Amino acid sequence: MMKRLLLLILTGCIVHFSNAQSVPQKDVKDILRAITKNNLTTVEVDTLERNRTYLNILPVVGYSPPYGFLAGAGVSLGRILGSTGTPLVSSALVNVSVTTKNQTIFIARSNVYLPGGDWILQGDWRLLFFTQPTYGTGIYFGGTDQVSLNGNPVTLRRDEQDMEFNYVRFYQSVFRRIQGSLYAGIGLSVDHHFNIDDQTLDLNNAQPNYTAHYLNNIRNNIPLTRTTANGLSLNVLWDNRDNPINTYEGWYAQLGYRMNTRFLGSNVPSQVFSYDLRFYLHPKPSSKEHVFALWNWGQILTSGKLPYLAMPSIAWDTYNRSGRGYIQGRFRGESMLYSEAEYRFPLTRNRLLGGVVFLNGTTASAKLSGQSLLRAVALGYGAGLRVKMSKKTRTNVTVDMGFGQKGSSGIFINLQEFF
């Protein structure tokens, strides 16, 4: 399958470069309009109008290992403020879905400029009724660890550990413009897991089956069935991207320092430094749609302790986009660093279809085993197809095939670019 996907993308590149003259853009709406009117020359103009809301709805039906079969819908909204000057693009993405693994998922994410552009509201709200395996902390592919529990050595297997839990996430930040594209602000972050069922845990046998969740929380005096990490954060933001839905040029940087306190309901206090950096370059200056994109994010625990499920983990970032090649939650740790590089390019002259190739790496710390950051790196790679849903907002349906180490793989379907 991977060879066929790469061959398709390579063929599209050859066709695109051999027909370099400009032709009008088309998106899915143009194709449907042409079919229903039987007029293949009918093409909607691709000028993005200011102060108008653009809405795209995508029914989602698919399959992936952590979810099983999934059905739901995704809604993408975009709007440009102001009548003149630098465009300020507000965007929001809402997903609602159910799965055959008895999961119900509601996610709403937003980056909204208030009129005038001096204030930004940034949100990540979730309500999950969830089942998902975890694999402990650090970067491992199997094996065992000898861990101290109340002064006694116990064995922890680094394999799949099934869990059920409900999860409420409420991240809301407010930013005020300092100058130009530079903003500063404060945020409230709530991570509340409840009805936690550590299904692999078995303490009744002569040789108990311990889990990373159990050992981490017991050793740190954190409850096992209900955990909370709530905090306030101080944040700095730089964003001069031309379009956050699908960026051709510019760069993005967000730095934050989060303080989880007992006063706000946290089980244990902690402090976390986080960053999110994104750069967009043009290896082909004559075409902005050829983009070399770089993404790096990290969360570093500077003091205190975290509940197991509140630790950073791949595909638990704001848009669930990290770690292509692995299932959600495959790697986690007290601290985590993630990097990804992606090359984006058009496949057809009308830019209805596009392609990407990507490479990523993840490293995480594990106090249970003594593994430090950068001690080991999990690599992922792959390629994907883009179908333009809206040429005005540049909204794409993304379909990627990702591969990781030790036979890991998966198909990843989303609305909007991965970063």
- Ramachandran quadrant class, 257 (left: phi over 0; alpha: psi -120 to 50; beta: rest): beta
Q: How far apart are CA 117 and CA 175, in angstroms?
A: 10
Q: What is the pLDDT of residue 231?
A: 98
Tokens 């984006």 sit at which residue? 344
Q: Count CB atoms within 10 A of the CB of residue 15.
A: 13
pLDDT in tens, 215-265: 999 999 999 999 999 999 999 999 999 888 899 999 999 999 999 999 999
For tokens 């490479």, what's the residue?
359
- Number of Cβ within a 10 Å radius of residue 178: 14
Confidence of residue 88 (pLDDT cuts 50, 70, 90): confident
Determine the pLDDT at residue 55.
Answer: 82
The pLDDT, as a whole number, for residue 15 is 45
- Pairing state of beta strands 152-157 and 68-81? unpaired
- Count each helix (H run) and each strand (E run) in the chain, helices first: 3, 18
96 vs 71: CA distance, rounded Å: 9
Which pLDDT tens digit goes with each residue over 141-191?
A: 999 999 999 889 999 999 999 999 999 999 999 999 999 999 999 999 999
- Map out the domains of the chain with their CATH numbers: 2-17+25-37+55-415 (2.40.160.50)
> Which of 85-99, 145-159, 317-331, 399-413 has the lowest average pLDDT?
85-99
In this model, does residue 60 exceed pLDDT 80? no
Pick from 46-55, 68-77, 242-251, 361-370: least confident:
46-55
pTM (2 d.p.): 0.88
What is the pLDDT confidence band of residue 207, given thresholds at 50, 70 and 90? confident
DSSP element (H, E) containing 91:
strand 88-99
Q: Which helix (H) or strand (E) holds 278?
A: strand 270-281
C-alpha–C-alpha distance, residues 382 and 396, integer Å: 18
Q: How far is CA 137 from CA 145, 259, 260, 341, in A?
A: 11, 22, 21, 24
**pLDDT score of 329:** 93
Closest CA to 296 of 361, 382, 371: 361
Can you give the pLDDT at residue 20? 47
Q: pLDDT exceeding 70 applies to what percent of the chain?
A: 89
Q: Is the pLDDT of residue 2 over 60?
A: no
**What is the arithmetic mean of pLDDT over 123-132?**
96
CB of 291 closer than 8 Å to CB of 303: no
Task: Over range 289-314, report the average pLDDT.
Answer: 97
Q: Which pLDDT band holds residue 18 (cuts at 50, 70, 90)?
A: very low
Question: How does 29-59 read in b/e, with b if 16+ C-beta sit within 10 Å?
Answer: bbbebeeeeeeeeebeebebeeeeebebebe
- Which of 102-111, 155-164, 271-280 tops mean pLDDT? 271-280
Write down the mean pLDDT value for the chain: 88
Q: Which stretches of 25-67 are assigned E, i.e. beta strand? A: 53-64
Predicted confidence band of residue 288 (pLDDT cuts 50, 70, 90): confident
Task: Look at the alpha carbons of 369, 372, 375, 378 in this order and tell me if their dihedral is positive or negative.
Answer: positive
CB 352 within 8 A of CB 26: yes
Per-residue pLDDT, 345: 95
Closest by CA to 154, choosing from 416, 400, 368, is 368
Pairwise pLDDT comparison (50 vs 168), residue with the higher score: 168
Identify the band that residue 61 occupies on the pLDDT scale cut at 50, 70 and 90: confident
- Nearest 10 degrees: Cα torsion 190, 194, 199, 200: 40
pLDDT at 343 > cutoff 90: yes
At 63, the pLDDT band (50, 70, 90 cuts) reads low
For the ranges 4-13, 188-197, 276-285, the lowest mean pLDDT is seen at 4-13
Please report the pLDDT score of residue 413 as a whole number: 82
Confidence of residue 59 (pLDDT cuts 50, 70, 90): confident
